Amino acid sequence: MSLPPRFPKGLYGITPEWPDTERLILAVAEAARGGMTALQWRRKSGSHQEHLAQALALAECCRQHGILFIVNDNLQLALATEADGVHLGRGDGSLSEARQALGPGKIVGCSCYNEPELARKALELDVDYIAFGAIYPSTVKPDTVRASLDDLREGLRLTLAQGKTPRAAVVAIGGITPENAAPVIQAGADSIALISGLFETPDIQAAAARCSALFKG
Give the list of residues 6+ apart from residue 26 with CB closer than 8 angstroms, or none.
none
Q: Report CA 118 to chain centroid distance, whole Å.
A: 17
Q: Where are the alpha helices (DSSP H) in the chain?
A: 21-33, 48-65, 75-80, 95-102, 116-124, 149-162, 182-186, 196-199, 204-213
164 noted as active-site residue: no
Cis peptide before 53 (omega within 30 of 0): no
- E strand or H helix that includes residue 108: strand 107-113
111 noted as active-site residue: yes
Give the three-class secondary structure for 86: strand
Closest CA to 117 of 138, 135, 132: 132
Catalytic residue (one of 99, 120, 121, 141): 141
CA–CA separation, 119 and 65 (whole Å): 31
42 noted as active-site residue: yes
Catalytic residue (one of 106, 111, 210, 212): 111
Catalytic residue (one of 42, 120, 146, 153): 42
Q: Which residues have a catalytic role annotated?
A: 42, 111, 141
